[in-house]
Amino acid sequence: MSAPPFPHGLRGVIFDCDGVMIDSRAANNVFFNRVLAYFGLPPMTPEQEAYSFMATAGQALRHILPERLHGEIERVTRDEVNYQRDIVPLLRLQPGFREFADDLHARGVRMAIATNRISRGIQTVLDFFALPPYFDPVITASNAAPKPSPEGARRICAAWGFAPADVLFVGDSKHDKDAAQGAGTVFAAFNGGELRGRITAADFDQLRRAVGAALPPLPGAQARSIF
């Protein structure tokens, strides 16, 4: 029987953005399909949808568009199908995420983001949902090699000065799992269908129960968990 994770307690949590912090799959599909429709192309195939959800936006657009159209990507996504204007209002915060993050913050657990969005894109998400400034560092495709590279997770652990074994990486894709395992962190497969990790949770209630024993206590004799 394998030993439970976090023998020294859970000290930090790294969150993927899309599919973990926010429910964005449908909205992102709208974005990519509108770009395709602008060029008179059919909607994404299931394979293209799966690739686009894990990749950076630039990688996804270059994957789904013929090479002859790659020079048009910047203009079209600025003027014709603008993500911030047209798609961000369709995003939804993942149920239970804000409460989970608030509880971690109250317990002194550090939090960070490792996303394949660019820096401008994740800042738009943080601002749109008015999320608290809990997340530091925020690692993006603008400042590190995108996942599945473990560079971002390694940099987060180094910035915190924590051993990777004391850090949880919450993700919903094979790219997230590869990044987490490459950095030596504990991977939690979140809402990821057939994806499995050291921890597997369908939602934040399940994740909270899975890590509850490793969390620091809430400060104050009268404090109690919201869960």
- pLDDT value at residue 223: 47
Cβ density class 128-140: b for 16+ within 10 Å, e for less: ebebeebbebbbb
List the pLDDT tens digit at each of the 227 positions of the chain.
Answer: 466 799 999 999 999 999 999 999 999 999 999 999 999 999 999 999 999 988 889 999 999 999 999 999 999 999 999 999 999 999 999 999 999 999 999 999 999 999 999 999 999 999 999 999 999 999 999 999 999 999 999 999 999 999 999 999 999 999 999 999 999 999 999 986 889 999 999 999 999 999 999 999 998 744 455 55
Nearest Cα to Cα of residue 137 among 165, 156, 150: 156
C-beta separation of 170 from 197 below 8 A: no
User: Residue 148: is the preceding peptide bond cis (ω within 30°)?
Assistant: yes
C-beta separation of 204 from 97 below 8 A: yes
